[in-house]
Amino acid sequence: MATSALSTTLSDNGALVERHWQELNLRRRTYTFLGLALLAVALSGSLWFANATNAGKFFDRLPYFFDFVGDLVPARRC
């Protein structure tokens, strides 16, 4: 069976780089989670506001949203 001549231990500089990379990776994941949570709060708040202030009730009219897009497409003439 062949064995590798490479050592799995890192030098002091390599261990420092690895530790910094792990810290940056944790920070990136934390900021991603916080950003997604903030986006979800903003989206739910805006939908709540739209539903509360819209006389036609936003969620009741949501299925008809794409009817407007259908009116923009020109009729096909055959």
Full pLDDT tens readout for the chain, 78 residues: 455 566 678 899 989 999 999 999 999 999 999 999 999 999 999 888 877 887 667 777 777 777 777 777 777 776
Query: How many distinct structural domains can be found in the chain?
Result: 1
Residue 11 within a domain? no
Do 51 and 59 contact (CB within 8 A), yes or no? yes
Distances (CA, A) of 35 to 28, 29, 39, 47: 10, 10, 6, 18
Q: Decide: helix, strand or coil at residue 18.
A: helix
What per-residue confidence (pLDDT) applies to 63?
A: 77
43 residue type, one letter: L
Structure tokens at 21: 């990379």
Residues in contact with 54: Cβ distance below 8 Å, sequence separation at least 6, in sequence order? 61
Predicted local distance difference test score (pLDDT) of residue 8: 77
Q: What is the pLDDT of residue 31?
A: 98
pLDDT at position 18 is 93
Tell me whether residue 49 is in a domain: yes
Q: Specify the pLDDT at position 71.
A: 75
Residue 33 within any structural domain of the chain:
yes
